[in-house]
Amino acid sequence: MAEHEDVPHVRVAVVGSGFGGLGAAVRLRREGVTDFVVLERAGSVGGTWRDNSYPGCACDVPSHLYSFSFAPHPDWPRTFSGQEHIRAYLEHVTDVFRLRPHLRFGSEVKMMRWDTERLRWAIETSSGALTADFVVSATGPLSDPKIPDIPGLDSFPGKVFHSARWDHDYDLRGKRVAMVGTGASAIQIVPSIQPEVAKLTVFQRTPPWVMPRLDRAISGAERRLHRALPFTTQLRRGLLWGIRELQVQAFTKHPNELGFIEQLAKRNMARAIKDPALRARLTPDYRIGCKRILLSSTYYPALAQPNVDVVAGGLGEVRGSTVVAADGSEAEVDAIIFGTGFHVTDMPIAERVVGADGRTLAEAWKDGMQALRGASAAGFPNWMTIIGPNTGLGNSSMILMIEAQLNYLADFVRQLEVLGGRVALDARPGAVAVWNHKVQERMRRTVWNTGGCTSWYLDANGRNTTIWPGTTTEFRSATRRVNLGEYEVIRAPEAPRPRKSSATTPVEAGA
């Protein structure tokens, strides 16, 4: 990289333009920070809701709860919104809060290094270099698809793609298709493509618990009410939030109480699946909630159709056009679709972040991800992640957690301003260890640790580094303020401020 004075400089660089990145941008402007950019590798905003456009893609959290509290949307068309509506909402937020002057599309972060002398981040992107006093990493855990290493896959003559990289130019009609995985994406894809394919072979490594999805169109009268009386939108959101807060106790403290929910899920299955053998294959052997409870009213009916086979085992090998299951069963297919999730506990961005001691974040996290209050990693000053370690939810809206972290971001920025001068805050290793120990202690009795399953919540060491073991209220309280006692304050001699990026358009704070 060239000398830092030769490249543009910004106060804050935000990486990613999904819910986390756009939320951070809005909050920065509200804090009076206008000297920032949002670096986005793609050509539009949206994050997960831009990348996932597979048939049937929708959210399993109610629309009014899966939106920012500061940007309520009275015109959601359905109680559970589809991908196209959520993506349109994020475009709307971008316009309403005038974020477009800050967006830098086609700017994938290749590397960012902490400069210990200048107390700033040197960032290399696919569109050029820049430096920043502070970095907000909002790449999200569901951004980089994971495809398992299957012997023979490279020689498969047909079509192969991941659910998050759907090939809309490939016509599935009349094709023999293998669907690998039975997670949240697969249960939406299967009923969407089943009527048009000739044969659908579903490779199920572990059966999920599936509850009905009580989706409906939101009436015109409801939407008119929400437009005329905005408080009714907030009331609706509040009720949805409160119900989920009450449910948390069963997941985190009393997993045995979930047996009643299991019975409801089994009845839901029995209504659609009449074949006892198939029903046995689809019945989980672990406590409901250990993996994310999936919502669908069409998945089981689709599996019961004559052109669908459910293989109780993962995909083990590919031999030409033949896919071979772990149990040895075979099927001839024209296309393989992977619904096998993402790099959640080994996020690729961690390989591209180099901290104060020259180690990458991936190296710092080689024994498991951990960050102070889900935001700050020791040895990475003035760096914060949105949806970091142990901030995920198993039963509610991630927007609630994102907004809590935005409160933390806002106070972090305020603390830097109060301290004044060229200053950085680096999480103390002891503070990170104490926070992580408390989180893991609380995790021990949750359904995610005691439910008897192996889920994507667990890292390679079997430790849950993904889920928050409490209520969103507790997390909001824990991230309301930055405790300077948990950070090392690093100062540098005053020097002239580097020139601002000519590409950054100062705009007034607020909406």
Please tell me the number of Cα atoms within 13 Å of 479 on its side-chain side.
30
Which pLDDT value is given to residue 511? 29
Over the stretch 314-337, which tens digit does the pLDDT of each residue have?
Answer: 999 999 999 999 889 999 999 999
Band (10; pLDDT cuts 50, 70, 90):
very high
Contact 299, 187 (CB under 8 A): yes
Place 509 in a pLDDT band, splitting at 50, 70 and 90: very low
Q: Report the range of poorest mean pLDDT among 50-64, 113-127, 488-502.
A: 488-502
Q: Tell me whether residue 393 is in a domain.
A: yes
Kindly report the CATH number assigned to the domain that includes residue 301. 3.50.50.60
Percent over 70 (pLDDT), the chain: 95
215 — pLDDT class (breaks 50, 70, 90) = very high
Residue 401 belongs to some domain of the structure? yes
**What is the per-residue pLDDT across 91-104, written as a single tens digit (0 to 9) for each?**
999 999 999 999 99
> 159 and 261, same structural domain?
yes
Does residue 309 sit in the same domain as residue 326? Answer: yes
In a domain, 74, yes or no: yes
Q: Are 114 and 167 members of one domain?
A: no
Residues 347, 448 within the same domain: yes
Same domain, 300 and 348: no
pLDDT tens-digit profile of 406-415?
A: 999 999 999 9
Statement: residue 481 has pLDDT above 80: yes
Mean pLDDT of 198-219: 96
One domain, residues 429 and 395? yes
Question: What mean pLDDT value characterizes the chain?
Answer: 93
Does residue 312 form part of some domain? yes
Classified as helix, coil or strand, 91 is: helix
Q: Are residues 204 and 310 both part of a single domain?
A: yes
Q: Are residues 184 and 330 in the same domain?
A: yes
The whole-number average pLDDT for the span 32-57 is: 97
User: Strand, coil or helix: what is 199?
Assistant: strand
pLDDT band at 141 (very low <50, low <70, confident <90, very high): confident
Domain termination residue (choose one: 277, 307, 338): 338
Q: Is 327 in the same domain as 379?
A: no
In the listed set 338, 355, 388, which residue is the last one of a domain according to the structure? 338
User: Is position 78 within any domain?
Assistant: yes
Mean pLDDT of 181-202: 97
Nearest to 380 by CA among 112, 196, 129: 112
Amino acid found at 248: V
**Residue 256: which pLDDT band, with cuts at 50, 70 and 90?**
confident
Coil, strand or helix: which one is 210? Answer: strand
DSSP string, 93-143: HHHHTT-GGGEETT--EEEEEEETTTTEEEEEETTEEEEEEEEEE---TTS
Q: What is the pLDDT of residue 494?
A: 60
The Cα-based distances of 444 to 123, 372, 447, 464, 470 in angstroms read 39, 19, 9, 9, 12
- The answer on pLDDT for 507 being more than 50 is no
Record the pTM.
0.93
**87: in domain:** yes
Give the pLDDT score at 343: 86
Residues 158 and 257 both lie in one domain:
yes
d(CA 416, CA 420): 6
Residue 272 lies in domain: 153-214+241-338
* 264 part of a folded domain: yes
Q: Mean pLDDT throughout 39-64?
A: 97
Buried/exposed code over 75-103 (b: 16+ C-beta within 10 A; e: otherwise)? bbeebbbbbebbbebbeebbeebbbeebb
**Does one domain contain both 29 and 62?**
yes
> What pLDDT, on the 0 to 100 scale, is given for residue 428?
98
Question: How many whole angstroms separate alpha carbon 135 and alpha carbon 361?
Answer: 14
**Cα separation, 26 vs 99, whole angstroms:** 8
Of the three residues 338, 368, 398, the one that is the final residue of a domain is: 338
The per-residue pLDDT for 216 is: 96
Considering the domain boundaries, does residue 266 fall inside one?
yes
Residue 183: name the closest of 291, 67, 74 by CA: 291
Q: 94 and 128: one domain?
A: yes
Cα 276 from Cα 26, distance rounded (Å): 53
Count of structural domains, the chain: 2
